[in-house]
Structure 1
Amino acid sequence: MTLTLYGHPFSSYTWKALIALYEKDLPFTFAMLDGEHPEYGERLTALSPVGKFPMLDDGGNIYTEASIIIEYLDRATPDKPPLVGDASDATLYIRFLDRLFDNYVMGPTQEIVGQHIPFLTPVPDEARIAREKAALDKIYAWLESHLPEQGWAAGDRFTLADCAAAPSLFYADWVHPIAAEYPRLAAYRARLLARPSIARAVDGARPYRHLFPLGAPDKD
């Protein structure tokens, strides 16, 4: 395998792919998408369907979307612990949680952040922000009642669901803090951030916290 991951260290979905690469302890080249490396942006634009990252290049084989990248890494490394699994009900639940964290935790989080990016939204829509925070409260409550007290999102094994949960809950708690009434969810977030692969992704993004539109909180 000759792996190159295109992305940015502060990007939540880049994190998701990075966590999988770190979990599997795979060597790879990180193609930083920034103003200093225009050639990477040009290659991304040429190869990605809509020019979005992360994108994984394995010797000319291109994979986009973080969940698909992780599924590919599972297939390409049968000798390493899987992050998804076989065609069982347990695997369907892992995939369900993956979509839940991406769509219903990261989705509202990104909408709130987008309301604070001046060139996208000169004047934040406070009503929309309130709706997105209410959506986060709803999913926080669901997670509080469905997450296990110990272990990981889908059970004892660290999976694709946790790769999705880590960046989602990391940033969601920044924009709409997890309330005291959700202790199980808060404890799960803390376990995620203590895992070496996730801590590595967090540390890699620290130099870019000044880019966070709402102002990065003094935590984590």
Structure 2
Amino acid sequence: MSLALYGHLFSSYTQKVLMALYENGTPFEFRALGQDEPGNVGAWLKRWPLRKFPLLIDGDRTVVETSIIIEYLQLAHPGPLRLIPDDPMAALDVRFLDRFFDLHVMNMMQIAVNGALTGDPVKRKEGHDESIAKLELAYAWLDGELAGRTWAAGDAFTMADCAAAPSLFYADWVHRIPESYPVLRAYRTRLLERPSFARCVEEARQFRPLFPLGAPDRD
């Protein structure tokens, strides 16, 4: 088996790549990163000292950054589902939405998590308040943008949905999507029902006590 993925099952960015692999049934070896896996950690840091994951190994090739990994998989290990459209303009739309979910949802959720991890009640509140304000802006835009669509970019499931699933999953834990955004709430529900993401959720369930804000008793 030539493909190996280093990451953590509770990591939103790891889940994004796992979804792409699961969607196409691509064979790979998962190499968990954690205190109980010092060998994996050492091999990962040797390949990528910037300490970011996930990281994909394909033979002698190292591929990092989630969107690049998914694009690489489509080029080097294509499956029946094309997560980036062949049409250049349609592909541009997918790449934009992929970046939107990573930058304006996932990373905004992380502000609250980082604040909680400091252990400082003031920084915890500041981080949570900032996350809520920025997620509210993203939610409002998405509720209008996704109207009439099944998936992020239209009728086809794409890389943008791989980014959206873990982004909205964890963001909703930090700031629950209000009922005033029914389109976005319904989209999150569809993502949870998608077999590739449902698998990610179940595989990571054991790690929920690690969520520093307290994982809600749902999903």
TM bracket (short chain): over 0.9
Instruction: Compute the displacement of 1:127 (Å).
Output: 3.5
Offset, 1:71: 0.3
Say which SS state the counterpart of residue 116 (structure 1) adopts: helix
Counterpart CA distance in 2 for 1:23 and 1:128 is 34
Query: Contact conserved, 2:6 with 2:33, CA < 8 A, in 1?
Result: yes
Matching residue of 1:154: 153
Superposition CA RMSD, Å: 1.3
1:103-162: CA deviation from partner (whole Å, max 9, x where unpaired): 000111000011111xx3523422443222111101100000000334100011110000
Is the contact between residue 24 and residue 79 of structure 2 (CA under 8 Å) also seen in structure 1?
no
Residues 124 and 204 of structure 1, relative CA distance in 2, 3 Å threshold? farther
Distance 2:4 2:111 in 1: 29
Secondary structure at the aligned position of 2:129 is classed as helix
> Which residue is equivalent to 1:24?
24
Shift of 1:85: 2.2
Distance, in Å, in 2 between the alignment partners of 1:19 and 1:124 is 36
SS of 2:21's equivalent in the other structure is: helix
Count of residues paired in the alignment = 218
> Given residue 38 of structure 2, which amino acid in structure 1 is its aligned partner?
P
Q: Distance in 2 between matches of 1:44 and 1:214?
A: 28
Query: CA 1:79–1:108 in 2, change beyond 3 Å: closer, same or farther?
Result: closer
Whether the aligned pair in 2 keeps the contact of 1:14 and 1:54 (CA below 8 Å) is yes
SS of structure 2 residue aligned to 1:155: coil
- Which deviates more, 44-53 or 67-76? 44-53
Query: Which residue in the other structure is 2:170 paired with?
Result: 171
Normalised by the length of structure 1, the TM-score is: 0.95
Displacement of 1:82 in angstroms is 1.0
Q: Relative to 1, partners in 2 of residues 1:198 and 1:79: Cα closer, same or farther, differing over 3 Å?
A: closer
Name the aligned partner's letter for residue 54 of structure 1: P
CA distance in structure 2 between the aligned counterparts of 1:65 and 1:38, rounded to whole angstroms = 22
Moved more, 123-132 or 155-164: 123-132
Written as runs of structure 1 = structure 2, the 5 A alignment for 1:33-48 is 33-48=33-48
Give the Cα–Cα distance (whole angstroms) in 1 for the partners of residues 127 and 28 of structure 2: 40
Q: Do the aligned partners of residues 79 and 130 (structure 1) sit closer, same or farther apart at CA in structure 2, a change above 3 Å counting? A: closer
Q: State the Cα distance separating 1:87 from its structure 2 match.
A: 5.2
> Secondary structure, in 3 states, of the residue corresponding to 1:63?
strand
Structure 1, unmatched stretches of 5+, are none
Secondary structure of residue in 2 paired with 1:52: coil
Q: In 1, distance between residues paired with 2:67 and 2:104?
A: 15
Query: Percent of aligned pairs with the same residue?
Result: 51
Alpha-carbon distance between aligned partners in 2 of 1:127 and 1:115, rounded to the nearest angstrom = 7
Deviation by residue 1:73-94 (Cα, 9 ceiling, x = unmatched): 1111345221012351111010
What is the CA distance between 1:198 and its match in structure 2? 0.4
State the distance in 2 between where 1:91 and 1:49 align.
31
* Residues 144-199 of structure 1, C-alpha deviations (whole Å, 9 max, x = no match): 00003341000111100000000000000000000010000000000000000000
Once the two structures are superposed, residues 4-29 of structure 1 have per-residue CA deviations (whole angstroms, 9 ceiling, x without a partner) of 00000000000000000000101111
Q: Determine the C-alpha separation between the residues in 2 that align with 1:148 and 1:70.
A: 26
Runs of 4+ in 1 over 3 A off after TM superposition: none
Query: For residue 111 of structure 1, what is the aligned residue in structure 2?
Result: 111
Instruction: Kindly provide the amino acid, as one letter, of the partner of residue 201 in structure 1.
Output: C
1:203 is matched with: 202
